[in-house]
């Protein structure tokens, strides 16, 4: 299985090297086709997943305890690892300026640069990065954790979670193919995290030390991040990933608190409140809007891309959340994940985004002009550098950006090592050598694109492409999860149904 994935990575890298222009055109062509033809599938899967996730949490399955032990990690560490392993790499960047794009080109026929556009611009990021994404992650998490800790499955792989539905077809070649699709599919989602994180790190280095923001600098950033997450993944969850995540979340909290205290607190709080009202009022419209009449392309550029990104992460995040959720009930995993996930997204976007929006509206800094003329990363760093103690703020952003990429990568490498292991004892961990192997393999495609194309845009397009086969596996896992839970009687395991 490892050899096959390695061959696939080599083929992709070789194609990028031999025919960079042709590979770019091919990726863009496939990406655009999927966005326009299959976009509605992503929309329905994500919406139904959130509704099903909530149902499982409130149903008779909710009190089932995942394993017979007490919680393995504290609430703070559990939330920190879950949050930092998923979306953290994009929060500072998109949290600060995503509203700009919706403000200039709003959906739903709203007039650009209008008051309504401003309010929706503050709301849409909360929707894209909010409950829907976490609903996608948490159903696989329940499936993998239940299979591992309640049914005592010795393997921690994707094929095993598909077996309740596929039966014998999940064994042998069929199971290997499922795991291969999963392992290869992770590359797209993780590559997108790099595509967002590395330019922000480069811009921070330019602001602090005067380094020119070049493809080579971004390549060096990837190398540094690779070293950090390899060491972290090598040390495992408790001594590596947990420590990095705790440090990262503390720095993020300090950043949010400082920006809130320095910023226009009245505007930030009032826009937060307004955004929540708009989100609640328009949630289902936002979830299903495909714009078939005007064909503006907005849903494809934003909703479908984000949903594809979260789906490409879904199985990996499900495995990782399952790994750290031993001892919790299904209800605690689901509603804890939804609460902490949305709280993190809400805090980052409401504070950072509304801070920069206030600067724009009061004419202090022209954020819109900065984004259109100088690019997002440079604008974000320039904005924070002009705050009181701006140099320290930019340094904190530099560290958190590096740690965010590292925590996403080390949890992915650790998870890939789990999946490709023949079996792992209940209290065991995957081979360190295997973990290092996947850590290096994860960086291969992004590095190739940096060297040969000078950009990570194609990796982001790969996210949408690789999410399509992931959707098939995801649906199988969801159905298998329901089947497993339906066959499990709470009465037959009273010791595992006490919620504390």
Select from 211, 137, 147 the least CA-distant residue to 485: 147
Distance CA 122, CA 112 (A): 14
Mean pLDDT, to the nearest integer, of 67-95? 87
What's residue 454's pLDDT?
47
Q: What are phi and psi of 65, to 5 degrees?
A: -85, 135
Distances, alpha carbon 255 to alpha carbons 80, 91, 248, 351, 426, in Å: 15, 12, 11, 10, 38
CB 352 within 8 A of CB 92: yes
What is the pLDDT averaged over residues 261-266? 97
Q: Are 146 and 484 in contact (CB under 8 A)?
A: yes
Q: For residue 31, what pLDDT band results from cuts at 50, 70 and 90?
A: confident
From CA 267, how far away is CA 175, in angstroms rounded? 53
pLDDT at 500 over 60: no
Closest CA to 87 of 278, 268, 314, 258: 314
For residue 196, name the pLDDT band (cuts at 50, 70, 90): low
Domain boundaries along the sequence of the chain: 2-15+25-61+72-488
Give the pLDDT band of residue 14 (cuts 50, 70, 90).
Answer: low
The CATH code of domain 2-15+25-61+72-488 reads 1.20.1740
Distance CA 192, CA 190 (A): 5
What H or E segment, with its residue span, contains residue 422? none
DSSP structure string for 321-359: HHHH-TT-BHHHHHHHHHHHHHHHHHHHIIIIIHHHHHH
**Of 267, 281, 229, 259, nearest in space to 417 by CA:** 229
pLDDT tens-digit readout, 128-184 = 999 999 999 999 999 999 999 998 887 788 998 999 998 888 887 888 888 888 887
Question: Burial letters for 132-157: b for 16+ Cβ neighbours within 10 Å, e otherwise?
Answer: bbbbbbbbbbbbbbbbbbbeebebbb
Average pLDDT over residues 305-309: 88
pLDDT at position 134, please? 94
d(CA 321, CA 411): 10
Residues 6+ apart with CB under 8 A from 493: 64, 150
What's this model's pTM, rounded to 2 decimal places?
Answer: 0.90
In angstroms, rounded to a whole number, what is the distance separating the alpha carbons of residues 120 and 396? 29
Q: Which helix (H) or strand (E) holds 378?
A: helix 376-385
Strand partners, 329: 65
What integer pLDDT is reported at residue 480 of this predicted model?
Answer: 95
């Amino acid at each position: 299985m490892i050899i096959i994935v390695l061959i696939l990575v080599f083929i992709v890298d070789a194609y990028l090297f031999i025919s960079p222009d042709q590979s770019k055109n091919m990726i863009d062509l496939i990406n655009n086709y999927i966005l326009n033809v299959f976009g509605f599938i992503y929309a329905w899967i994500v919406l139904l997943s959130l509704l099903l996730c909530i149902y499982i949490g409130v149903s008779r399955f909710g009190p089932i305890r995942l394993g017979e032990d007490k919680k393995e990690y504290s609430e703070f560490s559990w939330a920190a690892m879950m949050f930092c392993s998923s979306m953290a790499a994009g929060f500072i960047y998109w949290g600060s300026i995503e509203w700009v794009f919706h403000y200039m080109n709003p959906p739903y026929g709203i007039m650009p640069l209008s008051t309504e556009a401003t309010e929706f611009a503050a709301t849409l990021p909360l929707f894209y990065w909010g409950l829907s994404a976490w609903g996608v992650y948490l159903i696989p998490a329940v499936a993998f954790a239940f299979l591992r800790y309640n049914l005592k499955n010795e393997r921690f792989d994707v094929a095993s979670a598909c077996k309740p539905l596929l039966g014998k077809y999940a064994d042998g070649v069929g199971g290997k193919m499922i795991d291969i699709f999963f392992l290869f599919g992770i590359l797209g989602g993780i590559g997108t995290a790099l595509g967002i994180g590395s330019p922000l790190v480069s811009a921070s280095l330019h602001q602090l030390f005067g380094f020119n923001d070049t493809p080579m600098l971004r390549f060096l950033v990837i190398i540094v991040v690779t070293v950090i997450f390899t060491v972290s993944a090598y040390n495992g969850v408790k001594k590596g990933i947990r420590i990095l995540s705790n440090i990262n979340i503390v720095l993020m909290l300090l950043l949010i608190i400082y920006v809130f205290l320095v910023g226009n607190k009245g505007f930030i709080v009032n826009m937060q409140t307004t955004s929540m009202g708009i989100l609640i009022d328009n949630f289902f419209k936002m979830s299903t809007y495909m714009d078939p009449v005007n064909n503006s392309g907005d849903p494809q550029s934003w909703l479908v891309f984000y949903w594809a990104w979260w789906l490409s992460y879904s199985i990996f995040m499900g495995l990782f959340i399952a790994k750290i959720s031993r001892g919790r009930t299904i209800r605690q995993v689901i509603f804890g994940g939804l609460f902490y996930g949305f709280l993190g997204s809400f805090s980052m976007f409401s504070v950072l985004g509304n801070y920069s929006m206030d600067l724009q509206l009061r004419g202090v800094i022209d954020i819109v002009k900065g984004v259109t003329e100088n690019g997002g990363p440079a604008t974000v760093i320039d904005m924070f550098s002009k705050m009181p103690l701006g140099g320290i703020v930019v340094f904190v952003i530099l560290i958190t950006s590096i740690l965010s990429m590292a925590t996403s990568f080390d949890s992915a490498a650790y998870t890939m090592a789990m999946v490709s292991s023949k079996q792992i004892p209940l209290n065991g961990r995957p081979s360190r050598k295997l973990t290092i192997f996947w850590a290096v393999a994860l960086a291969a495609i992004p590095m190739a694109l940096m060297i040969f194309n000078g950009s990570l845009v194609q990796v982001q397009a790969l996210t949408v492409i690789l999410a399509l086969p992931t959707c098939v596996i995801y649906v199988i896992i969801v159905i298998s999860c329901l089947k497993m839970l339906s066959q499990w009687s709470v009465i037959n395991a009273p010791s595992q149904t006490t919620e504390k």
